[in-house]
Structure 1
Amino acid sequence: MKPYKSSLAMTIAASVLLACVVPATAQTDMSFDVNVTLSKKAAAKLAAEKEGIVVFASYYGDPKRSAEKHANEVGQIDLAPQDEVVEIAGTAGHAHISGTKVDTKRLEWLAGPPEVNVNVASARKSSPDNLLKCDFIDGPLSDAQRKPVTLHCGLIEENVDTKLRP
């Protein structure tokens, strides 16, 4: 066997070796984007009240048998110590969820891919109560990362049907 003579060959060999060592669940980009839309009544109410919107994201997954001791009270692994909360204007718009609160070391505890749950509410600046009823996300993070997910909101009193969005 001849020794490697080119740095390209060494780089390829190192990449192949790394691919064998890194677990299949390893993922460093935990970010995704959400677009929030409002019904006409919700937009008018939030504008009149000078109210904002908050997007909450929590990351989780099912544990490997060897990591079950790290599971929470519902049997899942929490990937971040707390939800990531992004506030946007009460006129609706875009929220970037960075995923920077995720403890990527916990990904090794998962039996499958990481999942994300996203909910939207009013920011409670004008009232102690949430004013909105919104679509939500609950499923594989990879689905949320494919393209920005649009979550539609209406006022709770409008009794809009909410939908699980991929």
Structure 2
Amino acid sequence: MIRHLTGELLTCLIGRASTLKLVPAILLLTAAAGQAAENYAFQFDITLSDRAAAALRDANETITVEAWYFGLPNEAGREHAEGGFVYLGSESMELPPQTATVRVSGKTFDPSRLAWIEGEIVTAVSVYSSRRSSDDNLITCDTFHEELKTVQSEPPALHCVLNDEL
């Protein structure tokens, strides 16, 4: 229905013949946006100790993954920097408490901000319990802070344990 309404709207705005000429351009732009996001996508593995997985499941707890993109500011980017970095996007997701390969899609990456950085794009990831069953984080997990190209070529593995397993 949405596709039908969009087609009718385009027809009303610019005429039927012009609408047909726009369809390939719209499809090309949609594909380009998807390809741009794919350029910034990466993945990594999360593993949990047996005790952490069992405790989180027993508590009906999930895990939260937060991933950020950033870069060092160039001269033009200094006014856009926060904490010494130019923020380029982030993603957050909630997952069941189990071993998984996590895919960060890159859809929130803002390529217009690349003009404000020098050097490589950097990614950082943090994993913690989602605090559904407790106000406290129940697990301690590895983190990473690496160049995007490194993470894309060598996906890291993050391991999580219960805080009392340390």
Name the TM-score, length of structure 1 as normaliser: 0.73
- Unaligned stretches of 5+ in structure 1? 1-25, 160-166
1:53 — aligned with what? 63
Question: Which consecutive aligned stretches of 4+ in structure 1 deviate over 3 angstroms post-superposition?
Answer: none
User: How many percent identity over aligned positions?
Assistant: 37
1:126 — aligned with what? 133
**1:89, CA displacement in angstroms?**
1.1
Q: Is the 8 A contact 1:54 1:88 kept in 2?
A: yes
What are the within-5 Å matches in structure 2 for residues 62-141 of structure 1?
62-72=72-82, 74-80=83-89, 83-141=90-148
Please give the root-mean-square deviation of Cα atoms over the aligned residues, in Å.
1.7
Which amino acid letter does the alignment assign opposite residue 51 of structure 1? E
Counterpart of 1:101 in 2: which secondary structure? coil
Measured at CA, do residues 27 and 90 of structure 1 come closer, stay the same or move farther in structure 2, by a change above 3 Å? closer
My pick for the range that moved more, 97-106 or 27-36, is 27-36
Cα distance in structure 1, aligned partners of 2:146 and 2:155: 14
Describe the superposition over 1:104-125 as per-residue Cα deviations: whole angstroms up to 9, x where unpaired: 1101111111101101011212
How many residues matched?
131
Describe the superposition over 1:5-51 as per-residue Cα deviations: whole angstroms up to 9, x where unpaired: xxxxxxxxxxxxxxxxxxxxx99611111211011210110121121
Q: Is the 8 A contact 1:27 1:104 kept in 2?
A: no
- Unaligned stretches of 5+ in structure 2? 1-35
- Of residues 148, 154, 165, the one that matches 2:155 is 148
Cα distance in structure 2, aligned partners of 1:122 and 1:27: 27
Name the TM-score, length of structure 2 as normaliser: 0.73
